[in-house]
Structure 1
């Protein structure tokens, strides 16, 4: 029997225990053991090839919860203290994309943190895939930026009777976003030291109330170790990019709670058209139009003693999109303006989207997106796109 098949099952049971109790240490130890066993088994299977350009980084963080809301000043009465374990794979230029992005790295991050108040805010455990780009890479000195997005689990959430002061987190399971800017210095062929700043955000994407979320900023120190050989980078000619124009239609579905601690969950939908141009291989700019449907509009307007008509549940607008592209993946930031059918609950003029997209074929894409109004998250969406 394959021993690695049992490791995810072990983690699932321990995660459930973590959510139901305050006993988080066994889960941390189990994750560390799982990573150790998994990569050792893989190493034995594939001998030297699997561990080539593979490394493990251990970091220690000290920071504070950002006082975005006034209540944070009252309840976040301590520093945040975190530990991170990153499993990192360096690319070596096997594809044109790797060379264009200056040989980036990717990996999986395991992150455990206090949140400034154990009794009210609790602690968080997060697992996040990440992507690292080297801004400077000279000899033994490396300057990098890193972005990760994954799942965060907390052991304390809002409860009307037992934890009513925690109006930041309304669910045990949340989305965790991490951004880092760091430096690393190679001490030997195997060991490196690192330092930097880290920004972390988690919230439940408005799938449960309350959903103000928590942002915290920290500085960190760490040490990394190479697990195998460091192979030579491949350097080849990069073909000149030919700008192209493409059209895409997207149908998306989502859901949300209203911001009144309602137990109702409302359906959302959107239909979009976008025309974009690949000015550069890795940077695309698009212009498009959107139609939104929000099933919560009726109840929210009635609660505010405002007039409602059926077409108020729909909004229309135009948007501008900037996309960073890596092979079949893209990360996009979108800014739009409501035109025609406007947003009537809060009177927002602009809307935004963050989009992660993957082309599963030449013509079809899938995406996860988050619609917001600046920093106020509205709802997540899952969409399917077709290139015309």
Structure 2
């Protein structure tokens, strides 16, 4: 799960580059749709010793994409050098038909340009969606799959790609990719399937494209600081696999401020509860029996970074516990969340909490902006 932290920090870092580059470069404005197809080849990253037996052959597959160039009408379009949102369908042979089978994902993504020229484009992509694993862990039929315990999973991907124009509407493209299937501890095992790789493909523009050269004009409007409150219930499973599902809960209040058109920084207070903690604690007969569930309430304080794409945003938080009687958690926690702002006051959130490389639970929340 540590890769998710890397992706979030990369998203935050690279999110600053398009504006910096666009201040000196000429931007291309190309309204319309594009379709593309890519052939992938890669391998499963065996990040735990008990996964080594799952890696047998290369991962191979294809990816089909449909995206649309943003118009520049909204302020965040210019802040990110006019990115392209899209939808993709990925299908991979995971190189182990007996224990892993295939991985298929339907996902949304955003292509964020770093360099845009008439015949050359360099950009990076972040995407997330739903992933299906055809042969997950099963206690009787597939007990050697130590990587993932559910058919339906979350899917996430990042890539860096270069495109070269070869005809009026056609481009050849190639790049590096990283794909991940995970269920965020909704079921165990949940080591996840990590797939670094390379690819090559073709990119075709649908319809007549009008290209307008235009200097980027990003207006740096710093909006007011505000407070957010959010309640987020969740669910998780603990070993042994196939056991009971446990409820989790999280409430936070956060003060946040825009530091530019794209980013907010915040400081917040968290309250956590995980119903599995009392069960796991009392399984150990050498420990003192705990009957009060309130003993496992956790308090923490976090720093937050939010990258804003209009109504959508990607949030990474890193916190430290002020009170936590579950010593195996360690002192540090992280939360990775996507938010959708329904209006200026109300927002929805979906994400997960981790302790470094260990996912704790998935959660879905609803929040409110106080000021």
Structure 1-normalised TM-score?
A: 0.84
Q: How many residues align?
A: 337
In structure 2, the partner of 1:99 is 78
Which of 297, 309, 312 is the aligned partner of 2:295? 312
In structure 1, the partner of 2:365 is 383
8 Å CA contact retained: 2:226, 2:369: yes
Aligned pairs for 1:225-240 (under 5 A) are 225-233=204-212, 237-240=217-220
Aligned counterparts of 2:348 and 2:299: Cα–Cα separation in 1: 22
In structure 1, the partner of 2:231 is 251
In structure 2, the partner of 1:344 is 326
Which of 100, 124, 144 is the aligned partner of 1:121? 100
Q: Indicate the SS of the match to 2:78.
A: helix
Name whichever structure is richer in strand by fraction.
2
Aligned counterparts of 1:261 and 1:147: Cα–Cα separation in 2: 31
Structure 2-normalised TM-score?
A: 0.87
In structure 2, the partner of 1:23 is none
8 Å CA contact retained: 1:254, 1:379: yes
Which of 146, 155, 164 is the aligned partner of 1:167? 146
Change (3 A) 1:142 1:298: same
Compute the RMSD of aligned alpha carbons.
1.6
Between 102-111 and 369-378, report the one with greater CA deviation: 369-378
Q: How far does the alpha carbon of each residue in 1:301-351 deviate from its partner, in whole angstroms, 9 at most, with x for none?
A: 012333324323211000000111111111011000010x21515242111
Q: Indicate the SS of the match to 1:266.
A: strand
Q: Indicate the SS of the match to 2:301.
A: strand
Which of 65, 77, 101 is the aligned partner of 1:86? 65
Greater length-normalized contact order (CA 8 Å, ≥ 6 residues apart): 2
CA-CA distance at 1:80 after TM superposition: 0.5
CA-CA distance at 1:108 after TM superposition: 0.5
CA-CA distance at 1:117 after TM superposition: 0.7
CA-CA distance at 1:228 after TM superposition: 1.3
CA-CA distance at 1:374 after TM superposition: 1.1
Q: Indicate the SS of the match to 1:162.
A: coil
CA-CA distance at 1:227 after TM superposition: 1.3
Name whichever structure is richer in helix by fraction.
1
CA-CA distance at 1:193 after TM superposition: 0.3
